[in-house]
Amino acid sequence: MRQLAPSFVVPAPAGVAIRTRLRVSLRDEQVLTEVGLFLGALAAGDLAVRSGQRQAGEAHSWASRKRALTVASSARWAGSITRATDDQWALARRGQTQEMTWLRREIARIKARMARPLGAKADKRAGLVRGCAGRTEWHAKSRRLVVLQERLAGLERDWAAGRVRVVRGGERLARSSHRLGEAGLSREEWRERWRAARMFLAADGETGKRWGNETIRVTDTGQLSIRLPAALAHLANAPHGRYVPTATVAFTHRSAEWRERIGGDRGVAYRIHHDAVRGRWYVTASWKRTTVPVVPLRAALARGVVAVDMNDDHLAAWRLDPHGNPVGEPRRYRYDLSGSAQHRDAQIRHALTRLLHHARSSGVTAVAVENLDFTDSTSRERHGRGKRFRNLVSRFPTAKLRARLVSMAAEQNMAVIAVDPAYTSQWGAQHWQRPLTTSTRKTTRHDAAAVAIGRRALGHSVRRRTAPPPHDRSDRAGHRTVQAGPDIRGLEGPRPRTTDRGRDPCRPNAE
């Protein structure tokens, strides 16, 4: 059994973003499009320059790039573009690191499988993987090994040169231009989406400036004004080279917090973007919150916890009291992950909303979830020949569920406890599924896993108390042979049988 990681409270998100629709006129749309395309071209050129430079001398590179952009736009626009470029470059570098790590791991697994005899079975105790089923599979793995090694060599060359490969506008949209029929787009529709995706209309907030932003300014009355680049100063309809659209901005979500922030001239970043599919314009405001201290684990679990087992099509939840006992009935919150990304996101938000409402009505202040991470691998070498299971793991929305739950729970003053996912389904089914099943309640394996998750978050062992042996057998109702103290963390799961009844080696304080 591997070492279990301790449970911890997940920190709340530090950033806030709100969005609203911008109902622009025809003239406003023309000006915003021209400004967005002009700044987008500058951003594309700056990204090309940055991606061709090495990592060394980054500070000097940033200053020279900003000076070059200031001539065509302004100092503030140049700062926003260069910061966005550096963030994109850093994100691409992290992606390169993760891909190289994944490639090295896959190459090692394939080599280990090819080194084993054909048809050899895996031996976990000896650390041996299974061999290829036959010569056909061995040949296919050898070809895949060459492909992965070539990909790794190319990434290592790019990493050494500090070069990243980024497509402004999105690689998927760029590739769809070669198969417009399959994408269901005409050439004009694709070009409209491509132009909208490559626009740049974003400005960072500036604390101390009026309304928190000097480049894209939104007043407390909702009046929007944009500082135009120097090359487009002829489009201004207001003093100091600014353009004021006829549309007003009206935030509904977090409007009070936004007004308080701009009223104190604290920084608020704005982004204006065009949704070419719907033909609408939107404005997004974002800012950084004051760091909130993390609630101690013991305080978060003082009233118990609602434990959640995440699955492919539903969330299985069960409330546990502070002593680790299941209370009430299990809850299931189903969602459908088929369809578009907007539909999947709405399904997840709806399920999490019902979960948090149940937790709040139960009186608890914490939700326990597994600290899942399926980014390791979804290949055949990792999960065997079960293609259906690999597809299930690939589409499992662990990152989205976790991010959504943490952000939504923070608004409800609810703590999220992350626990080690090892053996929760196996031990939950072994120790809790049958005892919690009654004539009127059918406890599933997922419900039992939720109980195991909650007990691990509370610091209790997963296994239940078992009855002592009957009278006149062995030691006449002696000690409980499988009971462990709540403070002994290494005693979860089934323990081996002992022949010495007088001394329990797993008993607390045993020598």
Asked whether the beta carbons of 166 and 139 are under 8 A apart, the reply is no
Q: Is 507 left (phi over 0), alpha (psi -120 to 50) or beta?
A: beta
C-alpha–C-alpha distance, residues 417 and 275, integer Å: 37
How much is the pLDDT for 395? 57
**Low-confidence stretches of the chain (pLDDT beneath 50):** 56, 374-378, 481-485, 487-491, 500-511
How much is the pLDDT for 504? 43
Query: Can you tell me which residue has the tokens 């003093």?
Result: 239
Asked whether the beta carbons of 305 and 368 are under 8 A apart, the reply is yes
Q: What is the token pair recorded at 235?
A: 């489009």
Residues 6+ apart with CB under 8 A from 426: none
Phi, psi values for residue 8, rounded to 5°: -150, 160
Q: What is the token pair recorded at 117?
A: 């005899």
How much is the pLDDT for 12? 84
DSSP 24-55: --HHHHHHHHHHHHHHHHHHHHHHHHHHTS-S
How much is the pLDDT for 154? 94
Per-residue 3-state assignment (H helix, E strand, C coil) for 141-185:
HHHHHHHHHHHHHHHHHHHHHCCCCCCCCCHHHHHHCCCHHHHCC
With CA atoms as reference, report the closest residue to 370 among 394, 395, 402: 402
How much is the pLDDT for 391? 59
Quote the Cα angle for 211-217-219, to 5°.
55
Q: Which run of H or E residues covers position 348?
A: helix 341-362
Q: Which run of H or E residues covers position 91?
A: helix 75-115
The tens digit of pLDDT for each residue in 445-491 reads 999 999 999 999 999 888 766 555 566 555 555 555 444 445 444 44
Reported CATH class of domain 295-458: alpha beta
Dihedral in degrees, nearest 10, Cα atoms 91, 97, 100, 106: -100
How much is the pLDDT for 500? 46
Domains of the chain, residue spans = 32-185, 194-288, 295-458
